[in-house]
A and B are shown apart, each in its own frame.
Chain A
Protein backbone atom coordinates (compact mmCIF):
# COMPACT_ATOMS: atom_id res chain seq x y z
CA UNK A 1 0.00 0.00 0.00
CA UNK A 2 2.76 2.31 1.02
CA UNK A 3 4.82 1.56 -2.11
CA UNK A 4 1.79 2.18 -4.29
CA UNK A 5 1.29 5.54 -2.66
CA UNK A 6 4.90 6.35 -3.15
CA UNK A 7 4.62 5.56 -6.83
CA UNK A 8 1.55 7.68 -7.09
CA UNK A 9 3.37 10.47 -5.35
CA UNK A 10 6.35 10.42 -7.69
CA UNK A 11 4.03 10.18 -10.67
CA UNK A 12 2.19 13.22 -9.46
CA UNK A 13 5.40 15.13 -8.97
CA UNK A 14 6.71 14.17 -12.42
CA UNK A 15 3.46 15.07 -14.09
CA UNK A 16 3.39 18.38 -12.31
CA UNK A 17 6.96 19.19 -13.20
CA UNK A 18 6.45 18.37 -16.87
CA UNK A 19 3.32 20.50 -17.04
CA UNK A 20 5.00 23.31 -15.17
CA UNK A 21 8.08 23.26 -17.40
CA UNK A 22 5.89 23.35 -20.53
CA UNK A 23 3.83 26.21 -19.19
CA UNK A 24 6.89 28.13 -18.05
CA UNK A 25 8.57 27.61 -21.40
CA UNK A 26 5.52 28.99 -23.20
CA UNK A 27 5.38 32.02 -20.94
CA UNK A 28 9.09 32.64 -21.45
CA UNK A 29 8.76 32.35 -25.23
CA UNK A 30 5.82 34.75 -25.36
CA UNK A 31 7.52 37.22 -23.04
CA UNK A 32 10.79 37.12 -24.94
CA UNK A 33 9.08 37.57 -28.31
CA UNK A 34 7.22 40.54 -26.90
CA UNK A 35 10.40 41.94 -25.38
CA UNK A 36 12.38 41.42 -28.59
CA UNK A 37 9.83 43.06 -30.86
CA UNK A 38 9.27 45.88 -28.38
CA UNK A 39 12.97 46.61 -27.96
CA UNK A 40 13.52 46.67 -31.71
CA UNK A 41 10.31 48.52 -32.46
CA UNK A 42 10.70 51.16 -29.77
CA UNK A 43 14.24 52.03 -30.81
CA UNK A 44 12.75 53.85 -33.79
CA UNK A 45 11.44 56.38 -31.31
CA UNK A 46 14.09 56.32 -28.59
CA UNK A 47 17.26 55.69 -30.60
CA UNK A 48 16.47 57.11 -34.03
CA UNK A 49 14.40 59.94 -32.63
CA UNK A 50 11.31 59.57 -34.77
CA UNK A 51 8.33 61.10 -33.01
CA UNK A 52 5.56 58.66 -32.23
CA UNK A 53 2.80 60.97 -33.38
CA UNK A 54 4.57 61.58 -36.68
CA UNK A 55 4.98 57.83 -37.08
CA UNK A 56 1.32 57.11 -36.47
CA UNK A 57 -0.33 60.00 -38.26
CA UNK A 58 1.92 61.15 -41.12
CA UNK A 59 1.06 60.00 -44.61
CA UNK A 60 4.51 60.14 -46.23
CA UNK A 61 6.57 56.92 -46.08
CA UNK A 62 10.09 57.39 -47.44
CA UNK A 63 12.64 55.94 -44.99
CA UNK A 64 15.54 56.24 -47.42
CA UNK A 65 14.74 59.76 -48.53
CA UNK A 66 16.45 62.96 -47.49
CA UNK A 67 15.02 63.77 -45.00
CA UNK A 68 13.65 60.35 -44.13
CA UNK A 69 9.91 60.22 -43.56
CA UNK A 70 8.33 57.55 -41.39
CA UNK A 71 4.60 58.05 -41.75
CA UNK A 72 2.92 54.66 -41.51
CA UNK A 73 -0.65 55.93 -41.43
CA UNK A 74 -1.46 54.57 -44.91
CA UNK A 75 -0.33 51.11 -43.77
CA UNK A 76 -2.40 51.28 -40.59
CA UNK A 77 -5.44 52.51 -42.48
CA UNK A 78 -5.00 49.78 -45.09
CA UNK A 79 -4.80 47.05 -42.45
CA UNK A 80 -7.92 48.27 -40.70
CA UNK A 81 -9.93 48.85 -43.87
CA UNK A 82 -9.12 45.50 -45.42
CA UNK A 83 -9.84 43.69 -42.13
CA UNK A 84 -13.14 45.47 -41.68
CA UNK A 85 -14.14 44.75 -45.26
CA UNK A 86 -13.28 41.08 -44.88
CA UNK A 87 -15.31 40.87 -41.67
CA UNK A 88 -18.29 42.64 -43.25
CA UNK A 89 -18.31 40.13 -46.09
CA UNK A 90 -17.44 36.99 -44.15
CA UNK A 91 -19.48 37.49 -40.97
CA UNK A 92 -22.97 37.14 -42.51
CA UNK A 93 -21.77 34.29 -44.72
CA UNK A 94 -20.10 32.42 -41.89
CA UNK A 95 -22.90 32.89 -39.35
CA UNK A 96 -25.45 32.06 -42.03
CA UNK A 97 -23.62 28.84 -42.81
CA UNK A 98 -23.46 28.08 -39.10
CA UNK A 99 -27.24 28.52 -38.75
CA UNK A 100 -27.76 26.31 -41.77
CA UNK A 101 -25.57 23.59 -40.29
CA UNK A 102 -27.11 23.58 -36.85
CA UNK A 103 -30.71 24.65 -37.24
CA UNK A 104 -31.87 24.07 -40.78
CA UNK A 105 -30.10 21.11 -42.32
CA UNK A 106 -27.97 19.54 -39.59
CA UNK A 107 -27.34 16.27 -41.40
CA UNK A 108 -26.25 17.65 -44.73
CA UNK A 109 -24.53 20.56 -43.03
CA UNK A 110 -22.36 18.46 -40.74
CA UNK A 111 -21.58 15.79 -43.32
CA UNK A 112 -20.91 17.96 -46.36
CA UNK A 113 -20.82 21.69 -45.73
CA UNK A 114 -18.64 21.65 -42.61
CA UNK A 115 -15.80 19.56 -44.04
CA UNK A 116 -15.96 21.56 -47.25
CA UNK A 117 -15.63 24.88 -45.43
CA UNK A 118 -12.92 23.51 -43.17
CA UNK A 119 -10.96 22.44 -46.22
CA UNK A 120 -10.45 26.13 -46.94
CA UNK A 121 -8.17 26.32 -43.89
CA UNK A 122 -5.68 23.93 -45.45
CA UNK A 123 -5.09 25.99 -48.59
CA UNK A 124 -1.81 27.93 -48.24
CA UNK A 125 -2.22 31.68 -48.35
CA UNK A 126 0.12 32.02 -51.32
CA UNK A 127 -2.42 29.98 -53.31
CA UNK A 128 -5.21 32.34 -52.28
CA UNK A 129 -3.00 35.22 -53.33
CA UNK A 130 -2.18 33.68 -56.67
CA UNK A 131 -5.79 32.84 -57.44
CA UNK A 132 -6.72 36.37 -56.45
CA UNK A 133 -4.02 37.78 -58.69
CA UNK A 134 -4.96 35.57 -61.63
CA UNK A 135 -8.77 35.72 -61.44
CA UNK A 136 -10.06 38.33 -59.04
CA UNK A 137 -7.83 41.25 -60.02
CA UNK A 138 -8.54 40.96 -63.78
CA UNK A 139 -12.24 40.48 -62.99
CA UNK A 140 -12.40 43.68 -60.96
CA UNK A 141 -10.37 45.46 -63.63
CA UNK A 142 -12.83 44.52 -66.35
CA UNK A 143 -15.98 45.12 -64.32
CA UNK A 144 -15.12 48.56 -63.00
CA UNK A 145 -12.55 49.78 -65.52
CA UNK A 146 -9.93 50.33 -62.82
CA UNK A 147 -6.54 48.88 -62.01
CA UNK A 148 -7.88 45.80 -60.25
CA UNK A 149 -5.35 45.84 -57.43
CA UNK A 150 -7.54 47.19 -54.72
CA UNK A 151 -8.90 47.21 -51.23
CA UNK A 152 -11.86 45.28 -52.59
CA UNK A 153 -9.67 42.48 -53.95
CA UNK A 154 -7.82 42.23 -50.64
CA UNK A 155 -11.06 42.20 -48.67
CA UNK A 156 -12.61 39.48 -50.83
CA UNK A 157 -9.54 37.22 -50.64
CA UNK A 158 -9.34 37.69 -46.88
CA UNK A 159 -13.07 37.09 -46.47
CA UNK A 160 -12.67 33.67 -48.06
CA UNK A 161 -9.68 32.93 -45.85
CA UNK A 162 -11.41 33.77 -42.57
CA UNK A 163 -14.72 32.15 -43.49
CA UNK A 164 -13.83 28.74 -41.97
CA UNK A 165 -12.78 30.32 -38.67
CA UNK A 166 -16.00 32.27 -38.37
CA UNK A 167 -18.16 29.36 -39.46
CA UNK A 168 -16.74 26.76 -37.11
CA UNK A 169 -16.62 29.00 -34.03
CA UNK A 170 -20.15 30.28 -34.70
CA UNK A 171 -21.37 26.71 -35.21
CA UNK A 172 -20.04 25.73 -31.80
CA UNK A 173 -21.66 28.77 -30.21
CA UNK A 174 -25.05 28.07 -31.78
CA UNK A 175 -24.88 24.39 -30.92
CA UNK A 176 -24.26 25.33 -27.30
CA UNK A 177 -27.64 27.06 -27.07
CA UNK A 178 -29.76 24.76 -24.83
CA UNK A 179 -32.45 22.81 -26.65
CA UNK A 180 -34.93 23.89 -23.93
CA UNK A 181 -34.81 27.47 -25.15
CA UNK A 182 -35.80 26.43 -28.66
CA UNK A 183 -38.55 24.18 -27.37
CA UNK A 184 -39.92 26.92 -25.14
CA UNK A 185 -39.95 29.38 -28.00
CA UNK A 186 -41.68 26.94 -30.32
CA UNK A 187 -44.18 26.09 -27.58
CA UNK A 188 -45.03 29.78 -27.31
CA UNK A 189 -46.09 29.64 -30.91
CA UNK A 190 -43.05 31.23 -32.50
CA UNK A 191 -42.22 30.09 -36.01
CA UNK A 192 -38.96 28.33 -36.75
CA UNK A 193 -37.45 31.49 -38.20
CA UNK A 194 -38.61 33.61 -35.27
CA UNK A 195 -37.00 31.08 -32.95
CA UNK A 196 -33.71 31.17 -34.87
CA UNK A 197 -33.63 34.95 -35.09
CA UNK A 198 -34.89 35.96 -31.66
CA UNK A 199 -33.83 33.09 -29.45
CA UNK A 200 -30.95 31.14 -30.94
CA UNK A 201 -29.01 34.00 -32.51
CA UNK A 202 -29.71 36.28 -29.60
CA UNK A 203 -28.43 33.91 -26.95
CA UNK A 204 -25.40 32.90 -29.00
CA UNK A 205 -24.48 36.47 -29.88
CA UNK A 206 -21.31 36.69 -27.77
CA UNK A 207 -20.13 33.44 -29.30
CA UNK A 208 -20.83 34.68 -32.82
CA UNK A 209 -19.02 37.93 -32.08
CA UNK A 210 -16.09 35.89 -30.80
CA UNK A 211 -16.09 34.10 -34.13
CA UNK A 212 -15.98 37.37 -36.04
CA UNK A 213 -13.22 38.83 -33.86
CA UNK A 214 -11.15 35.68 -34.25
CA UNK A 215 -11.57 35.97 -37.99
CA UNK A 216 -10.58 39.63 -37.90
CA UNK A 217 -7.48 38.81 -35.86
CA UNK A 218 -6.44 36.37 -38.55
CA UNK A 219 -7.22 38.84 -41.34
CA UNK A 220 -5.22 41.60 -39.65
CA UNK A 221 -2.09 39.48 -39.54
CA UNK A 222 -2.34 37.87 -42.97
CA UNK A 223 0.49 38.99 -45.23
CA UNK A 224 1.15 37.02 -48.36
CA UNK A 225 -2.25 36.73 -50.00
CA UNK A 226 -3.07 40.36 -49.34
CA UNK A 227 0.29 41.54 -50.61
CA UNK A 228 -0.36 39.95 -53.97
CA UNK A 229 -3.71 41.58 -54.68
CA UNK A 230 -3.78 44.86 -52.82
CA UNK A 231 -1.19 46.77 -54.87
CA UNK A 232 0.98 47.98 -51.97
CA UNK A 233 0.71 51.64 -52.81
CA UNK A 234 1.52 53.87 -49.87
CA UNK A 235 -1.08 56.43 -50.76
CA UNK A 236 -4.44 57.07 -49.18
CA UNK A 237 -7.17 55.37 -51.22
CA UNK A 238 -10.05 57.35 -52.69
CA UNK A 239 -12.40 54.41 -52.93
CA UNK A 240 -12.77 50.67 -52.45
CA UNK A 241 -11.29 50.19 -55.89
CA UNK A 242 -7.98 51.94 -55.17
CA UNK A 243 -4.80 50.11 -54.20
CA UNK A 244 -3.39 50.51 -50.70
CA UNK A 245 -0.77 48.92 -48.42
CA UNK A 246 -1.12 46.99 -45.20
CA UNK A 247 1.26 46.80 -42.24
CA UNK A 248 2.06 43.18 -43.04
CA UNK A 249 2.77 43.76 -46.72
CA UNK A 250 4.92 46.78 -45.86
CA UNK A 251 7.02 44.57 -43.61
CA UNK A 252 7.34 41.58 -45.93
CA UNK A 253 8.22 43.67 -48.96
CA UNK A 254 11.08 45.49 -47.24
CA UNK A 255 12.42 43.33 -44.41
CA UNK A 256 14.85 41.34 -46.57
CA UNK A 257 16.44 44.37 -48.13
CA UNK A 258 17.05 46.50 -45.09
CA UNK A 259 20.00 46.24 -42.74
CA UNK A 260 19.56 45.28 -39.10
CA UNK A 261 19.90 48.25 -36.81
CA UNK A 262 19.27 50.96 -39.40
CA UNK A 263 16.35 53.36 -38.83
CA UNK A 264 14.57 51.83 -41.84
CA UNK A 265 14.79 48.34 -40.36
CA UNK A 266 13.73 49.62 -36.94
CA UNK A 267 10.72 51.33 -38.48
CA UNK A 268 9.63 47.96 -39.87
CA UNK A 269 9.97 46.50 -36.38
CA UNK A 270 7.80 49.31 -35.08
CA UNK A 271 5.18 48.27 -37.59
CA UNK A 272 5.51 44.71 -36.29
CA UNK A 273 5.07 46.06 -32.76
CA UNK A 274 1.87 47.76 -33.88
CA UNK A 275 0.61 44.44 -35.22
CA UNK A 276 1.47 42.79 -31.91
CA UNK A 277 -0.33 45.52 -29.99
CA UNK A 278 -3.35 45.04 -32.23
CA UNK A 279 -3.39 41.30 -31.57
CA UNK A 280 -3.37 42.09 -27.83
CA UNK A 281 -6.39 44.30 -28.43
CA UNK A 282 -8.15 41.50 -30.30
CA UNK A 283 -7.38 39.07 -27.46
CA UNK A 284 -8.75 41.54 -24.92
CA UNK A 285 -11.95 41.85 -26.92
CA UNK A 286 -12.19 38.06 -27.02
CA UNK A 287 -11.70 37.81 -23.24
CA UNK A 288 -14.36 40.43 -22.77
CA UNK A 289 -16.79 38.56 -25.00
CA UNK A 290 -15.96 35.30 -23.25
CA UNK A 291 -16.76 36.79 -19.87
CA UNK A 292 -20.03 38.09 -21.19
CA UNK A 293 -20.94 34.61 -22.30
CA UNK A 294 -20.13 33.17 -18.88
CA UNK A 295 -22.52 35.59 -17.18
CA UNK A 296 -25.33 34.45 -19.47
Chain B
Protein backbone atom coordinates (compact mmCIF):
# COMPACT_ATOMS: atom_id res chain seq x y z
CA UNK B 1 0.00 0.00 0.00
CA UNK B 2 2.78 2.36 0.95
CA UNK B 3 4.68 1.58 -2.21
CA UNK B 4 1.58 2.17 -4.27
CA UNK B 5 0.90 5.54 -2.72
CA UNK B 6 4.54 6.50 -3.23
CA UNK B 7 4.23 5.56 -6.86
CA UNK B 8 1.13 7.69 -7.19
CA UNK B 9 2.91 10.61 -5.61
CA UNK B 10 5.79 10.21 -8.02
CA UNK B 11 3.36 10.08 -10.92
CA UNK B 12 1.55 13.20 -9.77
CA UNK B 13 4.86 14.96 -9.38
CA UNK B 14 5.93 14.05 -12.90
CA UNK B 15 2.54 15.15 -14.15
CA UNK B 16 2.88 18.48 -12.42
CA UNK B 17 6.35 18.93 -13.88
CA UNK B 18 5.14 18.17 -17.37
CA UNK B 19 2.22 20.53 -16.98
CA UNK B 20 4.58 23.20 -15.79
CA UNK B 21 6.87 22.70 -18.78
CA UNK B 22 3.94 22.85 -21.13
CA UNK B 23 2.75 26.17 -19.85
CA UNK B 24 6.29 27.48 -19.80
CA UNK B 25 6.67 26.73 -23.46
CA UNK B 26 3.37 28.27 -24.31
CA UNK B 27 3.66 31.33 -22.13
CA UNK B 28 6.36 33.44 -23.78
CA UNK B 29 4.74 33.79 -27.18
CA UNK B 30 1.47 35.49 -26.23
CA UNK B 31 3.26 37.50 -23.55
CA UNK B 32 5.75 38.92 -26.02
CA UNK B 33 3.13 39.42 -28.62
CA UNK B 34 1.78 42.85 -27.69
CA UNK B 35 5.32 44.22 -27.67
CA UNK B 36 6.21 42.69 -31.01
CA UNK B 37 2.94 43.69 -32.59
CA UNK B 38 3.47 46.84 -34.61
CA UNK B 39 0.84 49.31 -33.52
CA UNK B 40 -0.49 50.63 -36.82
CA UNK B 41 1.60 51.19 -39.93
CA UNK B 42 4.43 48.73 -39.62
CA UNK B 43 7.95 50.04 -39.53
CA UNK B 44 9.85 49.11 -42.68
CA UNK B 45 12.64 47.65 -40.56
CA UNK B 46 10.34 44.86 -39.52
CA UNK B 47 9.73 43.81 -43.07
CA UNK B 48 13.31 43.70 -44.23
CA UNK B 49 14.44 42.02 -41.02
CA UNK B 50 12.28 38.98 -41.58
CA UNK B 51 13.96 37.05 -44.31
CA UNK B 52 12.56 33.54 -44.32
CA UNK B 53 15.47 32.18 -42.33
CA UNK B 54 15.51 34.69 -39.46
CA UNK B 55 13.27 33.90 -36.49
CA UNK B 56 11.64 37.33 -36.35
CA UNK B 57 8.65 37.92 -34.14
CA UNK B 58 6.52 34.93 -33.16
CA UNK B 59 3.09 34.65 -34.76
CA UNK B 60 -0.02 33.65 -32.84
CA UNK B 61 -3.12 32.50 -34.69
CA UNK B 62 -6.16 32.18 -32.42
CA UNK B 63 -9.82 31.38 -33.00
CA UNK B 64 -12.09 29.14 -35.05
CA UNK B 65 -11.87 25.49 -34.12
CA UNK B 66 -13.19 24.56 -37.57
CA UNK B 67 -10.22 26.23 -39.24
CA UNK B 68 -7.73 25.11 -36.59
CA UNK B 69 -6.64 21.81 -38.22
CA UNK B 70 -5.76 23.59 -41.45
CA UNK B 71 -3.81 26.37 -39.74
CA UNK B 72 -2.04 23.89 -37.49
CA UNK B 73 -0.95 21.72 -40.39
CA UNK B 74 0.18 24.72 -42.43
CA UNK B 75 2.08 26.11 -39.44
CA UNK B 76 3.84 22.80 -38.98
CA UNK B 77 4.84 22.69 -42.65
CA UNK B 78 5.89 26.33 -42.59
CA UNK B 79 8.02 25.92 -39.48
CA UNK B 80 9.69 22.86 -40.94
CA UNK B 81 10.76 24.97 -43.91
CA UNK B 82 11.73 28.07 -41.97
CA UNK B 83 13.89 27.08 -39.03
CA UNK B 84 13.38 29.18 -35.93
CA UNK B 85 10.09 30.75 -36.91
CA UNK B 86 7.49 30.36 -34.17
CA UNK B 87 3.82 30.05 -35.09
CA UNK B 88 1.44 29.29 -32.27
CA UNK B 89 -2.02 28.05 -33.18
CA UNK B 90 -4.84 28.06 -30.65
CA UNK B 91 -8.57 27.42 -30.75
CA UNK B 92 -11.12 29.27 -28.65
CA UNK B 93 -13.82 29.99 -31.19
CA UNK B 94 -14.38 32.59 -33.88
CA UNK B 95 -15.49 35.21 -31.36
CA UNK B 96 -12.29 34.81 -29.39
CA UNK B 97 -10.22 34.99 -32.56
CA UNK B 98 -11.87 38.21 -33.72
CA UNK B 99 -11.68 39.95 -30.36
CA UNK B 100 -8.10 38.83 -29.72
CA UNK B 101 -6.86 40.14 -33.06
CA UNK B 102 -8.83 43.36 -32.69
CA UNK B 103 -7.28 44.00 -29.27
CA UNK B 104 -3.81 43.15 -30.55
CA UNK B 105 -3.34 40.13 -28.30
CA UNK B 106 -3.05 37.79 -31.29
CA UNK B 107 -1.36 38.36 -34.65
CA UNK B 108 -3.99 36.49 -36.61
CA UNK B 109 -7.64 35.92 -35.72
CA UNK B 110 -9.23 32.86 -37.31
CA UNK B 111 -12.94 33.11 -37.97
CA UNK B 112 -15.70 31.26 -39.80
CA UNK B 113 -17.69 34.43 -40.24
CA UNK B 114 -17.11 37.95 -41.50
CA UNK B 115 -15.96 40.38 -38.81
CA UNK B 116 -18.84 42.60 -39.93
CA UNK B 117 -21.30 39.92 -38.82
CA UNK B 118 -20.18 39.98 -35.19
CA UNK B 119 -21.44 42.86 -33.11
CA UNK B 120 -18.75 44.64 -31.13
CA UNK B 121 -15.84 44.07 -33.53
CA UNK B 122 -14.19 47.09 -35.19
CA UNK B 123 -14.31 45.42 -38.62
CA UNK B 124 -12.81 48.44 -40.42
CA UNK B 125 -9.54 48.01 -38.50
CA UNK B 126 -9.17 44.39 -39.57
CA UNK B 127 -7.84 43.07 -42.87
CA UNK B 128 -9.59 39.98 -44.17
CA UNK B 129 -7.58 37.11 -45.65
CA UNK B 130 -9.91 34.44 -46.97
CA UNK B 131 -7.88 31.24 -47.01
CA UNK B 132 -10.42 28.51 -47.75
CA UNK B 133 -14.08 27.72 -48.21
CA UNK B 134 -16.02 25.17 -46.22
CA UNK B 135 -19.35 23.69 -47.20
CA UNK B 136 -21.95 22.66 -44.68
CA UNK B 137 -24.71 20.14 -45.04
CA UNK B 138 -27.57 18.77 -43.03
CA UNK B 139 -26.36 15.54 -41.47
CA UNK B 140 -28.62 12.68 -40.48
CA UNK B 141 -28.20 9.35 -38.83
CA UNK B 142 -27.69 6.56 -41.42
CA UNK B 143 -30.94 4.98 -40.20
CA UNK B 144 -32.92 7.82 -41.74
CA UNK B 145 -34.20 6.75 -45.15
CA UNK B 146 -34.23 10.24 -46.65
CA UNK B 147 -31.57 11.52 -49.04
CA UNK B 148 -32.95 14.83 -50.15
CA UNK B 149 -34.91 17.65 -48.59
CA UNK B 150 -36.36 20.75 -50.15
CA UNK B 151 -35.39 23.98 -48.47
CA UNK B 152 -38.94 24.35 -47.18
CA UNK B 153 -38.86 20.87 -45.64
CA UNK B 154 -35.51 21.64 -44.02
CA UNK B 155 -36.87 24.86 -42.58
CA UNK B 156 -39.99 23.10 -41.32
CA UNK B 157 -37.86 20.44 -39.64
CA UNK B 158 -35.50 22.86 -37.95
CA UNK B 159 -38.25 25.22 -36.83
CA UNK B 160 -40.07 22.29 -35.27
CA UNK B 161 -43.06 22.26 -37.64
CA UNK B 162 -42.28 18.76 -38.91
CA UNK B 163 -41.41 16.34 -36.13
CA UNK B 164 -41.56 12.96 -37.85
CA UNK B 165 -39.55 11.63 -40.77
CA UNK B 166 -42.67 10.09 -42.32
CA UNK B 167 -43.85 13.61 -43.24
CA UNK B 168 -40.91 14.03 -45.61
CA UNK B 169 -41.02 10.58 -47.15
CA UNK B 170 -39.08 8.59 -44.57
CA UNK B 171 -39.98 5.95 -42.01
CA UNK B 172 -42.22 6.61 -39.03
CA UNK B 173 -39.44 7.95 -36.78
CA UNK B 174 -39.27 10.93 -34.47
CA UNK B 175 -36.96 13.75 -35.53
CA UNK B 176 -34.34 14.85 -33.01
CA UNK B 177 -32.69 18.21 -33.63
CA UNK B 178 -29.01 18.59 -32.87
CA UNK B 179 -28.13 22.27 -32.82
CA UNK B 180 -25.16 24.53 -32.16
CA UNK B 181 -25.09 27.22 -29.48
CA UNK B 182 -26.72 30.52 -30.40
CA UNK B 183 -23.32 32.20 -30.73
CA UNK B 184 -21.81 29.61 -33.07
CA UNK B 185 -20.48 30.59 -36.48
CA UNK B 186 -21.56 27.28 -38.02
CA UNK B 187 -25.09 27.88 -36.78
CA UNK B 188 -25.05 31.40 -38.20
CA UNK B 189 -23.97 30.16 -41.63
CA UNK B 190 -26.45 27.30 -41.72
CA UNK B 191 -29.23 29.54 -40.48
CA UNK B 192 -28.52 32.22 -43.08
CA UNK B 193 -28.07 30.11 -46.19
CA UNK B 194 -30.03 26.92 -45.53
CA UNK B 195 -32.89 28.23 -43.44
CA UNK B 196 -33.30 31.76 -44.76
CA UNK B 197 -32.81 33.11 -41.24
CA UNK B 198 -35.81 31.38 -39.66
CA UNK B 199 -35.44 30.75 -35.96
CA UNK B 200 -34.53 27.18 -34.99
CA UNK B 201 -36.55 25.23 -32.47
CA UNK B 202 -34.81 24.10 -29.29
CA UNK B 203 -32.86 20.88 -29.59
CA UNK B 204 -29.85 19.11 -28.22
CA UNK B 205 -27.05 21.67 -28.26
CA UNK B 206 -23.34 20.92 -28.52
CA UNK B 207 -20.55 23.09 -29.84
CA UNK B 208 -17.87 20.63 -30.85
CA UNK B 209 -18.31 19.17 -34.33
CA UNK B 210 -16.95 15.82 -33.17
CA UNK B 211 -19.56 15.51 -30.43
CA UNK B 212 -22.33 16.64 -32.78
CA UNK B 213 -21.30 13.95 -35.26
CA UNK B 214 -21.24 11.28 -32.55
CA UNK B 215 -24.71 12.27 -31.35
CA UNK B 216 -26.16 12.30 -34.87
CA UNK B 217 -24.59 8.94 -35.66
CA UNK B 218 -25.90 7.26 -32.52
CA UNK B 219 -29.32 8.82 -32.06
CA UNK B 220 -31.99 7.30 -34.30
CA UNK B 221 -33.78 9.97 -36.30
CA UNK B 222 -31.33 12.74 -35.43
CA UNK B 223 -30.59 15.64 -37.77
CA UNK B 224 -27.97 18.36 -37.40
CA UNK B 225 -25.47 20.16 -39.56
CA UNK B 226 -21.76 19.69 -40.04
CA UNK B 227 -18.95 21.13 -42.06
CA UNK B 228 -18.14 18.84 -44.97
CA UNK B 229 -14.72 18.16 -43.45
CA UNK B 230 -16.46 16.32 -40.61
CA UNK B 231 -18.47 13.86 -42.68
CA UNK B 232 -17.46 10.22 -42.58
CA UNK B 233 -19.21 6.86 -42.85
CA UNK B 234 -21.10 7.33 -39.60
CA UNK B 235 -23.33 10.17 -40.79
CA UNK B 236 -25.12 10.91 -44.03
CA UNK B 237 -25.19 14.27 -45.84
CA UNK B 238 -28.54 15.33 -47.28
CA UNK B 239 -29.01 16.96 -50.63
CA UNK B 240 -30.71 20.31 -50.57
CA UNK B 241 -33.34 20.79 -53.30
CA UNK B 242 -31.68 17.88 -55.08
CA UNK B 243 -28.27 19.51 -55.14
CA UNK B 244 -25.42 17.59 -53.61
CA UNK B 245 -23.01 19.40 -51.30
CA UNK B 246 -19.84 18.80 -53.27
CA UNK B 247 -16.92 20.92 -54.44
CA UNK B 248 -18.29 21.53 -57.91
CA UNK B 249 -21.68 22.78 -56.71
CA UNK B 250 -20.15 24.97 -54.02
CA UNK B 251 -17.63 26.71 -56.27
CA UNK B 252 -20.49 27.83 -58.51
CA UNK B 253 -22.83 28.58 -55.57
CA UNK B 254 -25.33 26.07 -56.93
CA UNK B 255 -25.17 24.68 -53.42
CA UNK B 256 -25.44 27.81 -51.27
CA UNK B 257 -24.58 26.61 -47.76
CA UNK B 258 -20.89 27.43 -47.45
CA UNK B 259 -18.69 29.87 -45.63
CA UNK B 260 -15.30 31.44 -46.03
CA UNK B 261 -12.58 30.64 -43.55
CA UNK B 262 -11.06 33.99 -42.65
CA UNK B 263 -7.73 34.85 -41.12
CA UNK B 264 -7.90 38.44 -39.94
CA UNK B 265 -4.97 40.70 -39.15
CA UNK B 266 -5.09 44.11 -37.54
CA UNK B 267 -3.87 46.33 -40.34
CA UNK B 268 -1.85 44.90 -43.21
CA UNK B 269 0.24 41.93 -42.05
CA UNK B 270 4.01 42.22 -41.85
CA UNK B 271 7.01 39.99 -41.37
CA UNK B 272 6.33 36.40 -40.43
CA UNK B 273 2.58 36.84 -40.34
CA UNK B 274 2.61 38.10 -43.92
CA UNK B 275 4.91 35.32 -45.08
CA UNK B 276 2.78 32.71 -43.31
CA UNK B 277 -0.45 34.00 -44.87
CA UNK B 278 1.22 33.98 -48.29
CA UNK B 279 2.30 30.40 -47.63
CA UNK B 280 -1.27 29.35 -46.84
CA UNK B 281 -2.48 30.97 -50.05
CA UNK B 282 0.29 29.33 -52.08
CA UNK B 283 -0.54 26.47 -54.44
CA UNK B 284 1.37 24.12 -52.20
CA UNK B 285 -1.10 24.49 -49.31
CA UNK B 286 -4.21 25.24 -51.37
CA UNK B 287 -3.84 22.27 -53.71
CA UNK B 288 -2.91 19.75 -51.05
CA UNK B 289 -3.45 20.53 -47.34
CA UNK B 290 -6.68 22.41 -47.93
CA UNK B 291 -8.35 19.64 -49.91
CA UNK B 292 -6.84 16.89 -47.75
CA UNK B 293 -8.53 18.37 -44.72
CA UNK B 294 -11.93 18.65 -46.39
CA UNK B 295 -11.89 22.35 -47.27
CA UNK B 296 -12.15 23.88 -50.71
CA UNK B 297 -9.27 25.94 -52.12
CA UNK B 298 -10.16 29.61 -52.18
CA UNK B 299 -8.54 29.77 -55.62
CA UNK B 300 -11.17 27.41 -57.06
CA UNK B 301 -14.13 29.63 -56.25
CA UNK B 302 -15.96 30.89 -59.31
CA UNK B 303 -18.16 33.24 -57.31
CA UNK B 304 -17.56 35.79 -54.62
CA UNK B 305 -19.76 36.57 -51.66
CA UNK B 306 -19.65 39.62 -49.42
CA UNK B 307 -20.51 40.04 -45.75
CA UNK B 308 -24.15 40.75 -46.60
CA UNK B 309 -24.41 37.48 -48.50
CA UNK B 310 -24.51 39.05 -51.97
CA UNK B 311 -23.04 36.73 -54.56
CA UNK B 312 -21.19 37.93 -57.65
CA UNK B 313 -19.46 36.02 -60.44
CA UNK B 314 -15.70 36.29 -60.22
Contacts and interface: CB of A to CB of B under 8 A. Distances in A.
A64 B183 contact: yes
B120 A261 contact: yes
A243 B204 contact: yes
A147 B182 contact: no
A115 B3 CA distance: 13
B211 A256 contact: no
Interface string A61-96: 111110000000000000000000000000000000
Given A133-B214, A256-B93, A257-B95, A232 B205 contact: yes
Given A138-B218, A232-B205, A253-B205, A259 B120 contact: yes
Nearest to A138: B218
B99 A260 contact: yes
A48 B94 CA distance: 23
A61 B118 CA distance: 19
Nearest to B63: A256
Contact of B96 (A65, A111, A253, A256): A256
Given A133-B214, A147-B176, A253 B181 contact: yes
Contacts of A138: 218
A246 to B, nearest CB: 12
A32 interface: no
B202 interface: yes
In this complex, which of B1, B183, B184 has the most chain A Cβ atoms within 10 angstroms of its Cβ?
B183
Contacts of B199: 65
Nearest to A245: B205
Contacts of B93: 255-257
Given A231-B204, A259-B99, A261-B120, A141 B92 contact: no
A254 B205 CA distance: 11
Interface string A240-265: 00010100000011111111111011
B46 interface: no
Size band of the A side of the interface? 35 or more
A269 interface: no
A232 B182 contact: no
B183 A264 contact: yes
Contacts of A243: 204
Size band of the B side of the interface? 20 to 34
Given A232-B205, A233-B205, A253-B207, A258 B183 contact: yes
B314 interface: no
A98 interface: no
A147 B121 CA distance: 38
Interface in A228-242: 228, 231-235
Given A258-B95, A258-B183, A259-B120, A232 B206 contact: yes
A149 interface: yes
B202 A262 contact: no
Interface string B163-204: 000000000000010000111110000000000000100111
Given A233-B204, A259-B98, A133 B1 contact: no
A262 B219 contact: no
Contacts of B118: 259
In this complex, which of A148, A231, A245, A264 has the most chain B Cβ atoms within 10 angstroms of its Cβ?
A231
Contacts of B120: 259-262, 265
Contacts of A64: 182-183
B202 A228 contact: no
B6 interface: no
Contact of B182 (A235, A254, A255): A254
Interface string B103-127: 1000000000000001111000000
B94 to A, nearest CB: 6
Contacts of A234: 202, 205
Nearest to A147: B176
B182 A233 contact: no
Contacts of B182: 61-64, 254
Interface string A36-62: 000000000000000000000000011
A-B pairs, 7 with minimum CB distance: A256-B93, A257-B183, A232-B205, A259-B120, A257-B95, A262-B120, A253-B181
9 contacts: A133-B214, A147-B219, A231-B205, A232-B205, A233-B203, A256-B91, A259-B95, A260-B120, A264-B183
Interface of A: 61-65, 111, 115, 133, 138, 141, 147-149, 227-228, 231-235, 243, 245, 252-262, 264-265
Given A245-B205, A256-B95, 8 more contacts: A62-B182, A64-B183, A133-B214, A232-B205, A233-B205, A252-B207, A253-B183, A257-B207
